[in-house]
Amino acid sequence: MSGLPKTLSDVYDVVYIDAHGAETPVARQLGDRKAAAELARQAAAERGVGRMVLPGSSKLPNCVCVVPVAPRAA
């Protein structure tokens, strides 16, 4: 087994979206949703903003978001 995730929802990016809608990566290609959510919680607390999981919905400004993504090709 290659160890690569088999579905889109198995890999997550964590991004900070500022009040102007500009995105700053916090972490990429995390294979564990719980770890991604914890990292988002910590980053949101540091920035004093909200957090959420975005399953393809519109991106809200001024939050740290966990975004399901496709795994990168090796």
Which tens digits make up the pLDDT trace of 6-45? 444 589 999 999 989 899 999 999 999 999 999 999 999 9
Q: H or E element: which one contains 3?
A: none
Question: Could you tell me the two tokens for 63?
Answer: 């939050």
Model pTM score: 0.76
Could you tell me which residues come within 8 angstroms of residue 53 by beta carbon, excluding any fewer than 6 positions away? 37, 65, 66, 67, 68
Half-sphere exposure of 70 (CA within 13 A, CB side): 3
pLDDT digits (tens, 9 = 90+) for 60-74: 788 898 888 888 776
Confidence class for position 57, pLDDT limits 50, 70, 90: low
Confidence class for position 1, pLDDT limits 50, 70, 90: very low
